[in-house]
Amino acid sequence: MATELDDRPYILIVDDEASVRSALRRTLRKEGYRLGFAESAAQALEMMREEVPALIVSDHLMPQMTGLEFLKRCRLLYPEAGRIVLTGQAEMETVIGAINDGEVFRFLRKPWDDDEVKLTLHMALQQLSTERENRRLLKLLEKQTARVRELESEHPGISTIERDANGAIVIDEDDLGDA
């Protein structure tokens, strides 16, 4: 669980093989992330009730629930969490399913290249940050647009700007009144 001051990205790694979890822990230990590890999709879903990760890295072939089924469920429950599939078998049907159903950011193959994993996680977190900022800006724009509409209804013409042939704003001193 994160402290209030800990703003490092939380990444949840889900794989039924302890050796894979351990190897990813070693690969990522110096990257500045908070890491969580689950040995099954069920355990990961339980962990996510406490804290939703910024990014989920899941093995595909796991008992009880495949990684794609798990990530599809995560997309529905936690749409803002990024999703990456890690697998030794990358059949085209699996890749297409991951992209369509789980909306995964990337597909990583086992065995992996450490630098590729680090870069992929970094790029995924950058994309998530950009999407979050875009949502924030869109909400701000919607709020400002609503305020402009309110002002326009109270003061018709307030949002109209007259310009001269050179593009300079024309101020009609008669409209200034006693200001």
Q: What integer pLDDT is reported at residue 14 of this predicted model?
A: 97
Whether the per-residue pLDDT at 9 is higher than 90: the answer is yes
Distance (Å, whole) CA 18 – CA 149? 58
Task: Take residue 172 and report the two structure tokens written for it.
Answer: 């009609």
Whether the per-residue pLDDT at 177 is higher than 60: the answer is no
Report CA-CA distances (Å) from 59 to 17, 21, 44, 54. Answer: 9, 10, 12, 17
Instruction: Please state the separation of Cα 4 from the chain's center in Å.
Output: 20
The tally of CA atoms less than 13 A away on the side-chain side of residue 84 is 27
Nearest alpha carbon to residue 52 among 25, 28, 79, 91: 79
Whether the per-residue pLDDT at 120 is higher than 70: the answer is yes
Q: What integer pLDDT is reported at residue 109 of this predicted model?
A: 85
Q: What integer pLDDT is reported at residue 4 of this predicted model?
A: 58
Determine the average pLDDT of the residues in 114-121: 95
Q: What integer pLDDT is reported at residue 178 of this predicted model?
A: 53
Task: Take residue 118 and report the two structure tokens written for it.
Answer: 């680090």
Q: What integer pLDDT is reported at residue 95 of this predicted model?
A: 65
Q: What integer pLDDT is reported at residue 157 of this predicted model?
A: 79
Percentages (nearest 5) of helix, strand, coil residues in the chain: 50, 15, 35
Nearest alpha carbon to residue 124 among 81, 95, 86, 88: 81
pLDDT tens digits, 74-115: 999 999 999 999 887 766 666 666 666 657 888 888 889 999
pLDDT tens digits, 12-50: 999 999 999 999 999 999 999 999 999 999 999 999 999
All domains of the chain in start order, with CATH: 1-179 (3.40.50.2300)
Distance (Å, whole) CA 145 – CA 3? 37
- The mean predicted confidence, pLDDT, of the chain is 88
Q: What integer pLDDT is reported at residue 172 of this predicted model?
A: 74
